[in-house]
Amino acid sequence: MAPVRVAFIGFSASAKTSWAGDAHLPYPLSTIGRSHYEIVALLNSIVAASEASKKHFQLPSTVKAYGDSSTLAKNPNVDLVVCCTRADVHYSTILPSLRTGKKVFIEWPLAENIEKAQQLLETARSNGVDPSAYIIGLQGRVSPIASHIQEILASGTIGTVLSSQVIAFGHLLPRDALPESLVYFADRAVGG
């Protein structure tokens, strides 16, 4: 079977955080990942930013750089669009791809508000996108810690769990404040 041809939205060479590249690039660039996926396009706010990201992330020269989501959506050589931008731009960057019937992966939250999230879903449905072809990424569900806890619970080693509470933090950052570069994570206007 031919590899799935993937377009990524939001790999920035100058981002405040490296989440997108750190979270989404390792597998498609691995030996096993390359047998399943081929990165064919990259979209950022302008073509020059996409070109800079191709160089920064050492992507193949064959990867097409885009600065406009509507143009990317028209590319017939893209099977799957992976959106890893801030939540407040998910809607505008992924809507054109849904209108053309592309399969999509969008990080959580789906959009900055429920109305836009519902519009994305309605657009996918009205353009014939099979519900199994759009994915909302809840990466924490497949983290090594969550997977191990699921294994322990499934094995019955600790009996039947009737109630639980988890208090956790996922970074080596202060628990009571965000670094300046991540303050936007708590901003409701951008989906925080």
pLDDT < 70 positions in the chain: 15-18, 138-143, 168-188, 190-192
pLDDT at 173: 52
Instruction: Please indicate, yes or no, if residue 105 is contained in any of the structural domains.
Output: yes
**Helix, strand, coil in percent for the chain, rounding step 5:** 45, 15, 40
Distance between CA 104 and CA 81 in Å, rounded? 5
Six-digit token string for 107: 């990080």
Specify the DSSP element, H or E, that contains 124. Answer: helix 114-126
Instruction: Please indicate, yes or no, if residue 50 is contained in any of the structural domains.
Output: yes
Q: Which residues contact 180 (CB under 8 A, 6 or more apart)?
A: none
Instruction: Please indicate, yes or no, if residue 98 is contained in any of the structural domains.
Output: yes
Query: Is residue 190 classed exposed, middle or buried when 0-12, 13-18 and 19+ CB atoms within 10 A define those classes?
Result: middle
Please work out, in degrees rounded to the nearest 5, the angle formed at the alpha carbon of residue 15 by the alpha carbons of 86 and 83.
Answer: 35
Instruction: Return the CA Rg of the chain.
Output: 18
The CATH number of residue 120's host domain is: 3.40.50.720
Please work out, in degrees rounded to the nearest 5, the angle formed at the alpha carbon of residue 101 by the alpha carbons of 59 and 36.
Answer: 40
Q: Is 12 helix (H, G, I), strand (E, B) or coil?
A: coil
Instruction: Please indicate, yes or no, if residue 68 is contained in any of the structural domains.
Output: yes
* Cα 131 to Cα 19, 136, 141, 190, distances in angstroms: 26, 11, 20, 26
pLDDT at 175: 55
Instruction: Please indicate, yes or no, if residue 176 is contained in any of the structural domains.
Output: no
pLDDT at 141: 61
Instruction: Please indicate, yes or no, if residue 175 is contained in any of the structural domains.
Output: no
- Would strands 64-66 and 80-83 be described as parallel, antiparallel, or unpaired? unpaired
pLDDT at 1: 84
pLDDT at 70: 97
Q: Are 103 and 37 in contact (CB under 8 A)?
A: no
Instruction: Please indicate, yes or no, if residue 171 is contained in any of the structural domains.
Output: no
| Domain of 102, in residue numbers | 4-139
pLDDT at 180: 66
Q: Which residues contact 166 (CB under 8 A, 6 or more apart)?
A: none
What is the per-residue pLDDT across 63-90, written as a single tens digit (0 to 9) for each?
A: 999 999 999 999 999 999 999 888 888 8
Find the Cα–Cα–Cα–Cα dihedral 137, 55, 75, 6, rounded to 10°: -30
How many domains is the chain built from? 1
pLDDT at 43: 96
Instruction: Please indicate, yes or no, if residue 89 is contained in any of the structural domains.
Output: yes
